[in-house]
Amino acid sequence: MVAKTKDMWVFVETNEDGSAKNVGLELLTTGRALADKQGGKLVGIVIGHNVDAAVKSSVAYGADTVISVDGKEYEHYTTDAYAKAFYELVEKYGPTSILIGATNTGRDLGPRLSCRLQTGLTADCTSLAIDEDSGNVAWTRPAFGGNLMATILCPDHRPQIGTVRPGVFKKGVPDEARTAEIIKEDIHVAPEEIRTELLEVIKEAAGELVDLEGAEIIVSGGRGVGGPDGFKPIKELAAALGATVGASRAAVDAGWISHAHQVGQTGKTVGPKIYIACGISGAIQHIAGMSSSKTIIAINKDETAPIFNVADYGVVGDLFEILPILTAEIKKLKA
């Protein structure tokens, strides 16, 4: 496909209440400067049902134009409906590049869309730049479990598409006074074109919902916590900080805590403001899942643990003694 514009699109994924997911707003923030360098507009793409809130947020976070597709059939994500709507938009408007959040939905939609468009897709990017030689987006991403970084170009096909994990980029400050062009596209998908059916939603109980990707602070435990009871001081510190509890694969595989808490290559990729790794040695697979955290605090008995290579604060000592003191001090501070 030939690009008709120099525009950069951002897929602004919506929650079920029609509001924008953070990752879309993070990508609008990052895409703002890239769109300027590319010499085109920044366009927010909103697909869903009753999505006025997401359209408004897209404007506030920097979109020049927002194109929305609204319909009952988009209330819950389906591959067939979203891929069709998104494909029709691309056909009509011809953007140069598209950014998609690497959520479960984005990673389901992205390859389906790029394949239909016969173009390139680069998954889970951790940094984006405009290649000065060609004007292409230079997509940089980890591979081999985080052991290697690769910069990928899609030089001869348009649009060039990439996904980015939630939390990798920070969202900016919304400007509620901004205005933008709002386009409503009327695209509908017949029920028989949607070949999957949502039969049941199994929500985690409120107390057990583990939102690692949206967390501002995460306190994680690894092999060093020694057993399920070892998570007690971790949970107490997390409660004092208003943090989410994470875990390394070793702790999950040992059955000490559920897979929903797992951070790393076979778990969640996270990017909180503060990540506290307790008794985690720092296998490369774990580091791949948390190294974009703003501040990393590692507490480990073993001074040579690789986790200290990525830590801003490398704390050598016994977590069972250190965590309770830290928790008590934080409670005092907040009291």
Looking from the CA of 34 toward its CB, the CA atoms found within 13 Å total 26
With both helix axes pointing from N to C terminus, report the angle between 52-60 and 22-38 in degrees, rounded to the nearest 10: 50
State how far the Cα of 91 lies from the Cα of 147, in Å rounded to an integer.
Answer: 38
Least separation in angstroms between CB 184 and another protein: 26
Least separation in angstroms between CB 198 and another protein: 6
Nearer to another protein, 23 or 66 (CB): 23
Least separation in angstroms between CB 302 and another protein: 12
Least separation in angstroms between CB 26 and another protein: 16
Nearer to another protein, 103 or 220 (CB): 103
Q: DSSP 3-state assignment of 36?
A: helix
Nearer to another protein, 40 or 162 (CB): 162
Element (H, E) at 206: none
What the block records as the tokens of 139 is: 């997509």
Cβ atoms of 198 and 42 closer than 8 Å: no
Cβ atoms of 291 and 149 closer than 8 Å: no
Least separation in angstroms between CB 247 and another protein: 14
Cβ atoms of 69 and 50 closer than 8 Å: no
Least separation in angstroms between CB 287 and another protein: 9
Least separation in angstroms between CB 89 and another protein: 17
Nearer to another protein, 59 or 299 (CB): 299
Q: DSSP 3-state assignment of 313?
A: strand
Nearer to another protein, 31 or 166 (CB): 166
Nearer to another protein, 47 or 121 (CB): 121
**Residues near 229 by beta carbon (within 8 Å), at least 6 away in sequence:** none
Nearer to another protein, 76 or 188 (CB): 76
Least separation in angstroms between CB 177 and another protein: 30
Nearer to another protein, 24 or 62 (CB): 24
What the block records as the tokens of 242 is: 């208003």
**Cα separations in angstroms, 302 against 54, 179, 248:** 47, 54, 16
Count other C-beta atoms under 10 Å from residue 165's C-beta.
25
Is 278 exposed, middle or buried (CB count within 10 Å of its CB: 0-12, 13-18, 19+)?
buried
